[in-house]
Amino acid sequence: MKKLILIFALFFLNITFIKAQTAEEIKVTESVATLRQAMIDADKNALEKILHEDLSYGHSSGTIETKAMLIESLVSGNADFKTMDLTDQTVKIVGKNAIVRHKLFGETANKGVASTARLYVLLIFTKVKGNWVLLARQAAKIV
């Protein structure tokens, strides 16, 4: 009987340490998914909505783009994500901002040249009028 009580106690303690996403973390996760799909589809309208006016979008090459530059690059096909898989994602809410980290693995065709992307990505979302929009992004190559 003591063994059974100990098993239940350990099980209960494990459950209390499992962190569930808050409602806001879920909304941020949904915004990341919206951004991912908008980038794959090169959907100008969706990009306009999910990107902050003061966006700072940092590439692993060191190039920095504004909102207008990023949208033009994606819509024109100069930057073309064919696939984009995100793994190991974490979300942390800090006031009106959210810090998102993940790994990005994708197939690209930048300026028509096929390539692969293997990146660590940091995203900063901010809440504007009840919506989480991308304020900043920085990527680093996974070596």
pLDDT for 2 equals: 54
- pLDDT (tens digit, 9 = 90+) per residue, 119-138? 999 999 999 999 999 999 99
**What residues does each domain of the chain span?**
23-141
Whether 36 and 84 have beta carbons less than 8 Å apart is answered as yes
CA distance 51 to 44: 10
Q: What are phi and psi of 132, to 5 degrees?
A: -85, 120
Q: Using CB atoms within 10 A of its CB, is residue 97 exposed (0-12), middle (13-18) or buried (19+)?
A: middle
Write down the pLDDT at residue 20: 83
User: What residues of the chain score a pLDDT lower than 50?
Assistant: 4-6, 9-10, 13-17
Task: Please name the helix (run of DSSP H) or strand (run of DSSP E) that holds residue 37, with its range, or none.
Answer: helix 23-41
Please check whether residue 19 is in contact with residue 25, taking contact to mean a CB–CB distance below 8 angstroms. Answer: no
- Tell me, what's the pLDDT at 25? 97
The pLDDT value recorded for residue 4 is 45
The domain made up of 23-141 has a fold known as Nuclear Transport Factor 2; Chain: A, (3.10.450)
pLDDT, residue 1, reads 55
pLDDT of amino acid 65: 98
pTM for the model: 0.84
